[in-house]
A and B are shown apart, each in its own frame.
Chain A
Amino acid sequence: MSCERIQDRFADYLTGDLDEGARREVQEHISSCAGCRTEIENLTAIWAKLGVLPQEQPSGGLRDRFYSMLEEYKSEAAGAGKGFRPARLLAGWREWLTFRRPAFAASFSAFLLLLGIGAGWLVSGGGGKSARLSSLQREVQDMRQTIALSLLSQPSASERLQGVSYSTAVRNPSPKTLSALVNTLNTDSNPNVRLAAVEALYLFRNQPGVNDSLVGSLSIQSSPLVQVALIDLLVEIREQRASEALKALIKNEKLNPDVKKLAEQGIKQLI
């Protein structure tokens, strides 16, 4: 087989996309053709070298910009919708008027009646539109929660941090989102992510079950940073049930002395 035909297969050879027969042909050729052998060695080497180019992560700013762009687009589309509907109706009129049918003149009054019905439909359509808008907003909220949940389960701590920050943009978090945040608070390996989860749950303190979870988390946390953040939070929201948990906490002999001091102060403040 000619060198030219063999070289046509190099691209597939590099990606391993050649079938067994073709692969054998290439190998047979290069075992007897020094030129092609050197060439494929060079190509394979540079192909492998390209692999050292690292994959980089875009900054969080890109994500923020994308979501504001999407929100803007949606609000513009919702606003533009109001102008679009009458324009479509007008186009329909013109079609009617240019369509010369004998019955047209006779039924002009009937046409006007239809127009009246159309106008009525338009006016009543306003209510439907706002319902559609709110359902759209609901869907955006759902989407935020989905993204937050997906980010919270990522292996990279920075992505989980983003997940926590995403969840804070949700107005009415679902029980699933809340339990994912509580789970992050209690089990995440990175204390910074756990700290962020404390802050996020603080925002959702009025949601059912959140305060109980925060109280319960006191006995689970081992990092003094997170313990301090939790104690501050529970004292600030004046969560009475925290007293018992704080009392249990200070009994722990391994507790950091500063945390212990803060917990003792907290118990006094909560009485």
Chain B
Amino acid sequence: MSPTDNELMEQVRDGKVEKLAILFERHQTMLYNFFLRLTGNRAASEDLVQEVFIRILKYRTGYHGESRFNVWMFQIARNAHVDFLRKQKGEIALDDQFTEAPGNEPLPEARYEADQEAALVRRALDKLPVRKREILVLFRFQGLKLREIAELLDCQVGTVKVQVHRALKDLSRIYLELQGGKAS
């Protein structure tokens, strides 16, 4: 049976730093998408994933394995994101970053529609305040339980539920507004 994340991280903590490679292979895509949904910037998201693993190495001796490795990793990821935002000072228009598509070839109609839809959801997500966006991304995409998000954000589970609810309500409103704006 392959070792769990916690077991691997304990080995990294105890000096077998090369085991970090397995954790990297397991989590790089998930972390990359976490940052991509928060920042909307591909290059910055890759930098942030790299930063997370640098910090994991830096703080490896402080790993105690009480909570799931994921929660600890997201703690580091959130801090890296906060530092990134400080540097950026919210200057960049996030959805502009997404318009640079990988290729310019014309898309088949069905994909075009799906892409339009995704672009709209992304713009709506981008208009949410960062804290709400973060909690939604954690809950919707990162496979974290409400209990784990509460641990991550250092608050009660009830508070997380309320925040998820509010964030979704806001997102729904923004999405409908954008959709209406597009139609008119």
- Chain A interface (Cβ within 8 Å of chain B)? 7-12, 14-15, 17, 39, 42-43, 45-47, 49-50, 52-59, 61-63, 65-67, 69-70, 73-74, 77, 136, 139-140, 143, 146-147, 150
Instruction: Specify which chain B residues have a CB less than 8 angstroms from the CB of A77 in the assembled complex.
Output: 17
CB-CB under 8 A from B21, the residues of chain A are 66-67, 70, 143, 147
Given A50-B136, A62-B32, A66-B24, is A140 in contact with B18 using a C-beta cutoff of 8 Å? yes
- Interface 0/1 of B10-47, CB less than 8 Å to A: 00000011111110110011001100110000100110
Q: How far is the CA of A53 from the CA of B54 in the complex (A)?
A: 28
- Taking a contact as CB atoms under 8 Å apart, the answer to whether A136 and B114 are in contact is no
Q: With an 8 A cutoff between CB atoms, is B50 at the interface?
A: yes
CB distance A69 to B122 under 8 Å? no
Residues A42 and B165 in contact in the complex (CB < 8 Å), given A58-B32, A70-B17: no
> Are B161 and A66 neighbours in the complex by a CB distance under 8 Å?
no
Does residue B72 face the partner (Cβ distance < 8 Å to A)?
A: no
Size of chain B's interface in residues, with CB distance under 8 A?
Answer: 45
8 interchain pairs (CB within 8 A)?
A8-B158, A50-B140, A52-B117, A62-B32, A74-B18, A136-B18, A139-B16, A147-B25
Please give 20 more A-B residue pairs, beta carbons under 8 A apart, in addition to A11-B160, A53-B125, A73-B17: A7-B165, A8-B162, A10-B161, A42-B172, A43-B172, A50-B125, A50-B136, A50-B140, A53-B37, A54-B118, A58-B29, A62-B28, A62-B50, A65-B46, A66-B21, A66-B50, A67-B21, A70-B21, A70-B57, A147-B21
- Chain A interface secondary structure, helix, strand, loop or mixed? helix
Q: Are A11 and B37 in contact (CB under 8 A)?
A: no
A58 and B45 contacting across the interface, CB-CB below 8 Å:
yes
Q: Which residues from B are CB-within-8-Å of A74?
A: 17-18
* Distance A54 CA – B164 CA, assembled complex (angstroms): 21
User: How many angstroms between the C-alpha atoms of A51 and B121 in the bound complex?
Assistant: 9
Known contacts A58-B32, A70-B18, A53 near B165 by CB under 8 Å: no
Instruction: Looking at the assembled complex, report how far the CB atom of B143 sits from the nearest CB atom of chain A, in whole angstroms.
Output: 10
Residue of A nearest to B116 (CB): A52
Residues from chain A with a CB closer than 8 A to the CB of B152 are: none
Asked whether B169 lies within 8 Å of A39 as measured between CB atoms, the reply is yes
